[in-house]
Chains A and B, each alone.
Chain A
Amino acid sequence: MLRTALRNVFAHKARLLMTMLAVLLGVAFVAGTLVFTATISDAYKKSSQQGFTNVDVAIQRDDDDSDDRPSGVPDFTQRTLEQAAALPGAKSATGDASGFAALADKDGKLVGDGWATNGGNYYAGPDGKGTDPRYDMKRGKAPTRAGEIAIDWKTADRTGYKVGDTARMSVDGPVRDEKITGVFKTDDGNVAAGGSLVLFDNTTAQRLFTKPGEYTKINIQAKSGVTQAQLKREADKILPRDAEAETGKTLADDEAKEIENNLSGMQTAMLAFAGIALFVGIFIIANTFTMLVAQRTKELALMRAVGASRRQVTRSVLIEALLVGVVAGVVGLGAGVGIGAGLRALVGKLGEMPDGPLIISPSTVLTSMVVGIVVTVLAAWLPARRAAKIPPVAAMGSMHAPSSTRSLVVRNTIGALFAGAGIALVLYATSMDDGKAPLGLGAGLLLIGVFVLTPLLSRPLIAASAPVLRLFNVSGKLARQNAVRNPRRTAATASALMIGLTLITGLTVIAGGIQNAIDKMASDSLKADYTVSMANFSPLSTDVEKTLQKQPEVTTTSALRTVRATVKGDVKDLTGVNGKTIGDLTSLDWKKGSFAGLSGGRNAVVDEDAAKDQGWKVGSHFTATFQDGKKEQFTISGLYKGNEMIKGIMVDNASVTPHMHKVTDMQVMAKTKGGATSATKDSLEKALGDNPAVVVQDKEDLSESIAQFINIMLNVLYGLLAMAVIVAVLGVINTLAMSVFERSQEIGMLRAIGLDRRGIKRMVRLESLVISLFGGVLGIGLGVFFGWAAGDMIGSSIDTYELVLPWGRMAIFLALAAVVGVLAALWPARRAAKLNMLAAIKSE
């Protein structure tokens, strides 16, 4: 039997190629997705990893807010550091003073945009003459005084800065021109990913990031022979208030866990894609083998007639599947790695992808091979059993192309149950506050239900295309009838496309709604023409507001400051605003009261949701305990409707500034004469020193910057789904080619009685178009439904959210489905037109 199977594989090269291609694609799709997701996950993981190699014990802020005041910015003094260094088990100790630091490249652009751009201290020992064990100077020397910096080696490579160059940078707003004195090596993950790290001398770093003489963290290195636990016990004795000591191992473990958590959402999404890939892959393979066996009915019946047993027939089909699976699995894995690499390069071009090696994990290889081999064999199992049941007489009779005669009743019942349950769950989810789980489950059920029901749906939906197809005369009529001829096959072909389009449409609908909501928020709640902030929302120097106020075109400004305070035992962020001007810069929906009375006083305004939580009314009082331990009492003077941009408790800056450890702004709002124009924006940017780190945004920029994020996400998803579409195209080609092959006698007859080549081609193309559009319509319809349901849930947390149907994009998707149909039919149609018509007439 093995020989027969082998012969079979090689005897029909075209058929073999088609089958191989189907399996190969399925495997490539799965492997590509797995490689891509593993690569991305790994790169992101590395990017958020800090080296803990030189840290045995760290003294850091205790995040536990058991106190009645929020733990503030840590303040480890030089004394603590020296105490730590003097611990019997300590070899050395360094202090961290770090924070945001933006560096401009030679063209004035922000280096490492999208990644963390950090600044830190070079701690050269208490006397300032030693070396910092954390940073190894590769070239030049460490910074020793204000005006000098060292940059990391990757940034040096990326920007082309050399020792001795002057670089423009910014830490909290004002522009600084610094001389580069050194380039250092670091294993910091963020730097490896694409961020930057700039080192200042210790004093300057403290002035910029903490306060003179203070550190955010103290790192201790153990003497050889001293364990981390021993060192920790020693360090525990010198801990200041609100601080804790942790071993390097605990820190590394915690970090790993945290990274894992942060990435879990992404990994779930990626796994979902891999799952879809697997599903589509399995589908194409099963479909192909079913057709393959159907085509070979006669051949297999002949084998039965000459004495092969059922088991032998089954086995020959399975062996064939195994051979195909192994070869296609290996080739598909290779192709998948290529796809993964290509996708990464594509996403990398969008600038949102950390550097990192291509990850081909054993599980990727294993999964791909399992898909290739096991799925192929399993997919061949049912057809093989069917093949074995072919009666030997079938070899004798001439037969028409087999049409599915098995009843669809069971299938339809199951499908209807699934779809019904799915719809019910989705609807139920939209009525819940947090219906993610039922929504996901419902969506899954509905998708499966529709998928099972596709054969049933194919008839009415394709019948609906009749008026259009009538324009194409006989070709159109025959195309339509051929499309519904084998509902199972049509359904299987359309499904691959349907799944892809469902996801694409759903995501687009949600993204469109969110985009719209953000636009609305920005235009509804802001009166300010500009907001000024740091590139990554790190604190802004108060000088920025002063500079803005000096500009002739600026009429009104307000700085926004965020302060943590404990209110009724909970830590809250209080937003400090300029009580005099804030009313001119924002437009809030007041339920009661207003900004009036905020200025200078001990009043506060709060959004109604927060007020409801706390049971506050206008006139209620509350006490806030600040980080410095002092308390203030506030009276509620206004209630407004909050949104994603403005919400929470707002008080006057005068009430919070005295309690801030270091006075900085989060944002400055400004209004200008004549509103927002590009000239005004240029002039403001210039006034702020063309600073790479400071972002001046008008309302449009604001929504655009958020939109950009959404768009990048959409692009990545489109990229992944594009693969699903490619696979769908090949699936359609496969089905059509096989159908043409099956119907060659019919086609020959049609040619004989006078349908010309063009008519035949048109018939095949229209059939393909109809099937593709069928899949497209189903997919887009489902996508809109899911988008609506998910949006409804989002809408409960974003007030301005409303369903916006992206008609333009939906039209594009439908056109895409049509293009898929036309492209997929190119080759099968040519093949059909070239068929020898005598084949039909010569009796077998």
Chain B
Amino acid sequence: MTTSTRPEYPAGGPQQGYPAASPSAAGTAAAQATDLSKVYGSGETQVVALDRISVEFRRAEFTAIMGPSGSGKSTLMHCMAGLDSVSSGSARIGDTELTGLKDKKLTQLRRDRIGFIFQAFNLLPTLNAIENITLPMDIAGRKPDQQWLDRVIQTVGLSGRLKHRPNQLSGGQQQRVAVARALAAQPEIIFGDEPTGNLDSRAGAEVLGFLRNSVRELGQTVVMVTHDPVAASYADRVVFLADGRIVDNLMDPTADAVLERMKSFDAKARTS
């Protein structure tokens, strides 16, 4: 077992100074899928992307969703985040059932309760860093909490670059702006879709470190889709998907352990 790929995070216990959204009565689940299915097309050409998946993402936990290409990991995230519609079953954010919500409500929910970090195109090229960070709040017409904002900016180390446009920032810096944007609005949950996919390993490690810190220190909930075992090793828990089903679950993963599991799925897939 190696821990070399898992750098130590600054001192300070988990949950400390957590000012995020109040925990709801529904217990510790920040998001939950029950018998969630997603089917594309019909008849001969029907493709089942998600096959009756039930999964729970707990508050203040950093979850990674892993799986080979076409396993449905991105689809699961899209459905959970209200970006895509569900064929059957239920997807909830906190107490709110997403299935059946109209576009307007869904948009509001994404705006107010969810944060996003994408692989690319996270930032509007016409806005500078700070404008990009406060964009979701601008859209909502809310004033950002200045103290919290300062703290987030401090944490991601962007203080000197707030007036820079995205094209004046490196790829890593851009992704840090994206992380800051996701954190700034204090959403109930942050979804990341391969957030380090376009970064070199050093910049990727930085971004992942921030995400993990936000969970440990700020009590943020993060769900991240990735195919990189090293990225997954930053998470508290890894959920493995294959062929639209959840096939495994790993707590406190390391990169090697994740790689092991992945290999075994590949082997199973070949033999089955």
Contact A759 B83 (CB under 8 A): no
Q: Tell whether A756 is near chain B: CB-to-CB under 8 Å.
A: yes
Contact B126 A478 (CB under 8 A): yes
Contact B126 A838 (CB under 8 A): no
Q: Roughly how many angstroms separate A844 CA and B193 CA in the complex, as a whole number? A: 13
Contact B107 A749 (CB under 8 A): no
Contact B193 A754 (CB under 8 A): no
User: Chain B, 117-140, contact with A by CB distance < 8 Å: what is the 0/1 string?
Assistant: 011111011110000000110111
Q: Roughly how many angstroms separate A759 CA and B83 CA in the complex, as a whole number? A: 17
Contact A840 B111 (CB under 8 A): no
Contact A749 B127 (CB under 8 A): no
Q: Tell whether B37 is near chain A: CB-to-CB under 8 Å.
A: no
A759-B139, A837-B83, A838-B84 known; A754 and B119 CB under 8 Å?
A: no
Chain B: residues with Cβ within 8 Å of the partner, total of 36
Query: Nearest B residue to A839 by beta-carbon distance?
Result: B121
Query: Nearest B residue to A746 by beta-carbon distance?
Result: B124
Candidates B74, B112, B121; contact of A745 at CB < 8 Å: B121
Contacts of A400 in B (CB 8 A): 121, 125, 166-167
Name the interface size band of chain A: 20 to 34
A485-B126, A759-B139 known; A752 and B120 CB under 8 Å?
A: no
Q: Tell whether B15 is near chain A: CB-to-CB under 8 Å.
A: no
Contact A749 B125 (CB under 8 A): no
Q: Tell whether A842 is near chain B: CB-to-CB under 8 Å.
A: yes
A481-B126, A837-B83 known; A754 and B140 CB under 8 Å?
A: yes
User: Chain A, 271-286, contact with B by CB distance < 8 Å: what is the 0/1 string?
Assistant: 0000000000000000
Q: Tell whether A482 is near chain B: CB-to-CB under 8 Å.
A: yes
A474-B135, A841-B78, A843-B197 known; A482 and B104 CB under 8 Å?
A: no
Q: Tell whether A755 is near chain B: CB-to-CB under 8 Å.
A: yes
Q: Tell whether B116 is near chain A: CB-to-CB under 8 Å.
A: yes
- Chain A CB within 10 Å — which of B74, B124, B193 has the most? B124
Q: Roughly how many angstroms separate A745 CA and B124 CA in the complex, as a whole number? A: 10
Contact A755 B107 (CB under 8 A): yes
Contacts of A527 in B (CB 8 A): none
A401-B125, A842-B74, A843-B194 known; A753 and B139 CB under 8 Å?
A: yes
Q: Roughly how many angstroms separate A29 CA and B179 CA in the complex, as a whole number? A: 52
Candidates A401, A753, A755, A756; contact of B116 at CB < 8 Å: A753
Q: Roughly how many angstroms separate A837 CA and B135 CA in the complex, as a whole number? A: 17
Within 8 A of B (CB), among A502-554: none
Q: Tell whether A398 is near chain B: CB-to-CB under 8 Å.
A: yes
Contact B141 A754 (CB under 8 A): no
Q: Tell whether A477 is near chain B: CB-to-CB under 8 Å.
A: yes
Candidates A473, A485, A837, A843; contact of B120 at CB < 8 Å: A843
Contact A756 B104 (CB under 8 A): yes
Q: Tell whether B198 is near chain A: CB-to-CB under 8 Å.
A: yes
Q: Roughly how many angstroms separate A482 CA and B139 CA in the complex, as a whole number? A: 16
- Chain A CB within 10 Å — which of B121, B181, B198 has the most? B121
User: Chain A, 732-751, contact with B by CB distance < 8 Å: what is the 0/1 string?
Assistant: 00000000000001101111
Query: Nearest B residue to A483 by beta-carbon distance?
Result: B126
Contact B139 A755 (CB under 8 A): yes
Q: Tell whether B200 is near chain A: CB-to-CB under 8 Å.
A: no
Q: Roughly how many angstroms separate A26 CA and B139 CA in the complex, as a whole number? A: 40
Candidates B84, B110, B194; contact of A754 at CB < 8 Å: B110
Query: Nearest A residue to B109 by beta-carbon distance?
Result: A754
Contact B167 A752 (CB under 8 A): no
Q: Tell whether B108 is near chain A: CB-to-CB under 8 Å.
A: yes
Contact B138 A746 (CB under 8 A): no
Contacts of A759 in B (CB 8 A): 139
Question: Measured between C-beta atoms, what is the minimum distance from B16 to chain A in Å?
Answer: 28
Q: Tell whether B44 is near chain A: CB-to-CB under 8 Å.
A: no
Contact B78 A754 (CB under 8 A): no
Q: Tell whether B8 is near chain A: CB-to-CB under 8 Å.
A: no
Q: Tell whether A757 is near chain B: CB-to-CB under 8 Å.
A: yes
Q: Roughly how many angstroms separate A613 CA and B120 CA in the complex, as a whole number? A: 81
Contact B126 A840 (CB under 8 A): no
Contacts of B166 in A (CB 8 A): 400
Q: Tell whether A705 is near chain B: CB-to-CB under 8 Å.
A: no
Candidates B83, B107, B167, B198; contact of A841 at CB < 8 Å: B83
Contact B103 A753 (CB under 8 A): no
Contact B111 A753 (CB under 8 A): yes
Contacts of A481 in B (CB 8 A): 124, 126-127
Contacts of B120 in A (CB 8 A): 398, 745, 843-844
Sample of 6 further A-B pairs with CB below 8 A, known A403-B167, A746-B125? A473-B139, A754-B107, A755-B139, A759-B139, A837-B83, A842-B74
Residues of A within 8 A of B (CB): 398, 400-401, 403, 473-474, 477-478, 481-482, 485, 745-746, 748-757, 759, 837-838, 840-844
The 9 closest A-B pairs by CB, nearest first: A754-B111, A481-B126, A756-B107, A843-B119, A745-B121, A474-B138, A754-B110, A474-B139, A755-B139
18 interchain pairs (CB within 8 A)? A400-B166, A403-B167, A474-B138, A478-B127, A481-B127, A745-B120, A746-B121, A746-B125, A749-B116, A750-B139, A751-B107, A753-B110, A753-B111, A754-B112, A756-B103, A841-B83, A843-B119, A843-B120
